[in-house]
Structure 1
């Protein structure tokens, strides 16, 4: 059976990652973009340079996002079916963070052929990792149900995310934390370390300085790696930064500390969609295994 693979743009796949997924699926791969709105002007995810988005946000421009629509997913499904797909696996960002997953499901209901939608309960590097798992399963010829189940299990057990925003204001505006928490954080000069729990933003630690936040993230990475690694599966850490700067001092500090405890690291720029909600300057880590 020829199986197609669909995802959304918050994975921020590199050219090499996208090429690998196209190869393993026989070019039956599609990315559905979300949109970021800056002062009312819509840009497809990936169109805005991180530095430009940061400047706009720092200048006080109104920045919001728009989820991927059912029509976009329907178009992606139709294109893959027209090119020979007999079934499709769709892996989306967390349904707790966006209605994009619901759009994918709504579009799937209108298809006569099989479309299996997996809520990754994560985004960015975690979503990219889930796609690598899906691609490996498709490449090995496993059936759709088996691949989708493996992806869901991996997302639940073998990926962990933590991040530290420069401010809680953008999360407050988006309704992902309460106003009281935001006010308290500013008043006490608290630097939060947040994560994803069942796909939703959840507090992991509260410290007083950025340096301590980075130290806490390193400790969390070590704990997560010990939890998910095995004799067969090594854990690695993907560092993510909203401003797309692999040589940012925070990124360098975090990388050096992580590698100092024996963890391999890679780097990924956060999607503009994620940056719009967590704010420029946000740094994050995702600890996960590889297929």
Structure 2
């Protein structure tokens, strides 16, 4: 057993089987929908959340993890492990990281906080790298140094089937969303320095998947056997299958991990989000 406990938050969409495999503790954010508060991944499943999104005209809001939640987690694990490493979803997207830093400063023991400056499958890549290294017996400093390297050389690309949710959230104007939906324009978004930014766009699902693969190839070439790859979607599994097919046709990969993107991200993108994250293992 590793003497380092890996902790993350629910901004990193780690599949349940990998949480269990690597003994990761996930601290959940909260989601407020129709004036009711849900604990992400506990009070509401991803599938139920997708349905609620489609049936409601209102956008949900997310609420950061509290100081006391982190204090309790850190105090629990620092008595069981030599070190605790908490890896956060981007501090630019949530105040959760700051809550963790405050709790760490008030807790005795070897506790480390790491800002992934990414989200969902992106921060998931960072968490899984740390968990794998911890199981291999690497020291806390070796793990953190490796995370700094992969953080600076990671690609995270997303697209959405409709601009409706980005418009509701104020990220796209009503005029742009209306015209974009009429012309079947699909945006390609990236995560840069912890923020979501527009990178490119294409017309139609087939073209946007091809453009995403093209961007990956421009960044890394077509041989990704030494890379860790996560792909994810909401309830649009057919789009995920198309992305997987294109990856297998055009890229050389060892393993692809598949993720259902959770409520903290889909609250802003809608349930038809599709993404790929790629970084060093």
Give the TM-score, by structure 1 length: 0.84
**Superposed displacement of residue 228, structure 1:** 9.0
Aligned residues: 273
Q: Please list, as runs of the form range in 1=range in 2, the aligned pairs for 1:207-286 lying within 5 A after superposition.
A: 207-226=202-221, 229=224, 234-243=226-235, 248-264=237-253, 265-286=256-277
- 2:152 is paired with a residue of what secondary structure? helix
Counterpart in the other structure of 2:63? 66
Is the CA contact (8 Å cut-off) linking 2:125 and 2:277 kept in structure 1?
Answer: no
**Superposed displacement of residue 174, structure 1:** 4.2
1:146–1:118 distance in 2 versus 1, CA, 3 Å: same
Is the CA contact (8 Å cut-off) linking 2:167 and 2:177 kept in structure 1?
Answer: no
**Superposed displacement of residue 51, structure 1:** 3.6
Deviates more, 1:3-12 or 1:140-149: 140-149
Q: Which deviations, in whole Å up to 9, do the C-alpha atoms of 1:115-169 show, x marking residues without a partner?
A: 2111111122222221222123333444323322221221221x21111122334
Q: Aligned partners of 1:227, 1:107: CA distance in 2, in Å?
A: 43
**Superposed displacement of residue 269, structure 1:** 0.3
Is the CA contact (8 Å cut-off) linking 1:194 and 1:204 kept in structure 2?
Answer: yes
- 1:98 is paired with a residue of what secondary structure? coil
Over aligned residue pairs, what C-alpha RMSD do you find? 2.4
Deviates more, 1:271-280 or 1:120-129: 120-129
Q: Aligned partners of 1:99, 1:192: CA distance in 2, in Å?
A: 27
**Superposed displacement of residue 33, structure 1:** 0.6
- 2:11 is paired with a residue of what secondary structure? helix
Q: Which runs of 5+ in 2 are unaligned?
A: none
Matched, 1:55 2:51: yes
Counterpart in the other structure of 2:108? 112
Matched, 1:196 2:191: yes
**Superposed displacement of residue 46, structure 1:** 1.6
Is the CA contact (8 Å cut-off) linking 2:30 and 2:62 kept in structure 1?
Answer: yes
- 1:11 is paired with a residue of what secondary structure? coil
Counterpart in the other structure of 1:4? 5
Counterpart in the other structure of 1:205? 200
- 1:132 is paired with a residue of what secondary structure? helix
Q: Aligned partners of 1:278, 1:239: CA distance in 2, in Å?
A: 16
Q: Which runs of 5+ in 1 are unaligned?
A: 23-28
**Superposed displacement of residue 258, structure 1:** 1.1
Q: Aligned partners of 1:252, 1:140: CA distance in 2, in Å?
A: 32
- 1:6 is paired with a residue of what secondary structure? strand
Q: Aligned partners of 1:287, 1:238: CA distance in 2, in Å?
A: 7
Q: 2:139 aligns with which of 118, 122, 143?
A: 143
Q: Aligned partners of 2:140, 2:222: CA distance in 1, in Å?
A: 28
